[in-house]
Structure 1
């Protein structure tokens, strides 16, 4: 279980949205003081790729490099809808980019800021900073499932999904030791996000909320 923090960002509507979309679905997230002087998401002029297709090699996308002991399972089958699949792909990249910033101990890393803006970027910065403060990173397996995506008029989308953190742990960068925790209902987390497609066709996350121990994500 990833212990710190329990939430990336809190929004008033997140809990209700998650319950409505996921009820009944079963199981099967070195900058020091200098980094704190800036707020992630404030600069929206970052150069972005021209291709809207979800391709890992699209020009301008940041290269995401993660520790070999951190892996992912995304049980998010393609929907066949171009926009929905792009939302899912870019959300995956955002998750990985945040973990890369944690591993590299960079609260203002450009990777996650490429895939997020506003409240989501600011919340991710705080999330990353806590790991930096504790000199920890994430190891193990992060499993994501039960994704529900809705693309709206006007270039916005909503995404709700579950995570099983039973095999994801904190690893100390000071000692190299992994804090292995036992399985628990608190290891199941539901997320609710709001995204917007930018001019370059990237679905950036603007708002993100999470609830630990959610019954809608229990197996």
Structure 2
């Protein structure tokens, strides 16, 4: 979703890529482009959350996004409860980043809940870039080709693609949307690591993004 301060011309993922990964996704990696949002794609089954997060459970922070921002996540079929938990917490992490950027989670409580280590650092940096640019996010983002690999009982890797072609950054003061043409860089590949903490939450600890990746092109 051109979420970076792509607007800023930083491309959320470029410099922000690191941020994108951590932020959107927040990341240690790289990616580039400006003014889009990272989203999710469809798969067999999908879930969207323009408002409140559907997976919010007791004890977890409730994530709410603005009505003009929609994230959709592919839900691969498989029936593995652990992998489904990893996918669910990753989706919440992506929502948490956008909630911090758009101001629906100004204190970043969900951001800290679903991120740790380098991923948290990147996410905070990403959010700050939007704040410094007085920008926010709007539009749609799709996340697809989400594949989980369990390393052990508390460590997993998750790769996925993001379609940011319909997501953009928006100036908070003027509400002007920074729309950009759809190019190969509208699609981003993410490679992340998640670690299960003592509370059973799969936190994203590392994230790398590659903008324009061949495997994510439509």
- TM over 0.5, shorter chain: yes
TM-score, with structure 2 as normaliser: 0.77
Q: Over the residues paired in the alignment, what is the CA RMSD in angstroms?
A: 2.2
Aligned 8 A contact 2:191 2:208 in 1: yes
State the partner residue of 1:5: 12
Residue 75 to residue 200, structure 1, CA distance change in 2 (3 Å): same
Aligned 8 A contact 1:107 1:129 in 2: no
Residue 79 to residue 117, structure 1, CA distance change in 2 (3 Å): same
Aligned 8 A contact 2:143 2:162 in 1: yes
Within-5 A mapping of 1:10-89: 10-11=28-29, 56-89=55-88
User: 3-state DSSP class of the match of 1:140?
Assistant: strand
Q: Per-residue deviation at 1:198?
A: 1.1
Residue 110 to residue 169, structure 1, CA distance change in 2 (3 Å): same
Rg (Cα) greater in structure: 1
The CA distance in 2 between the partners of 1:202 and 1:159, in whole Å, is 15
The CA distance in 1 between the partners of 2:103 and 2:120, in whole Å, is 17
Aligned 8 A contact 1:76 1:146 in 2: no
Within-5 A mapping of 1:1-219: 1-2=2-3, 3=6, 4-6=11-13, 7=17, 8=19, 9-11=27-29, 56-104=55-103, 109-219=108-218
Residue 180 to residue 94, structure 1, CA distance change in 2 (3 Å): same
The CA distance in 2 between the partners of 1:111 and 1:75, in whole Å, is 21
User: 3-state DSSP class of the match of 2:148?
Assistant: strand
More divergent stretch after superposition (102-111 vs 82-91)? 102-111
Number of corresponding residues: 181
Residue 110 to residue 27, structure 1, CA distance change in 2 (3 Å): closer
Aligned 8 A contact 2:42 2:72 in 1: no
Provide structure 2 residue ranges, at least 5 long, that are not aligned to the other structure.
20-26, 32-40, 44-53
The CA distance in 2 between the partners of 1:63 and 1:190, in whole Å, is 27
Give runs of ≥4 in structure 1 deviating > 6 Å: none
Provide structure 1 residue ranges, at least 5 long, that are not aligned to the other structure.
16-25, 29-54
Residue 134 to residue 180, structure 1, CA distance change in 2 (3 Å): same
Residue 57 to residue 144, structure 1, CA distance change in 2 (3 Å): closer
Aligned 8 A contact 2:186 2:212 in 1: yes
Q: Per-residue deviation at 1:86?
A: 0.3
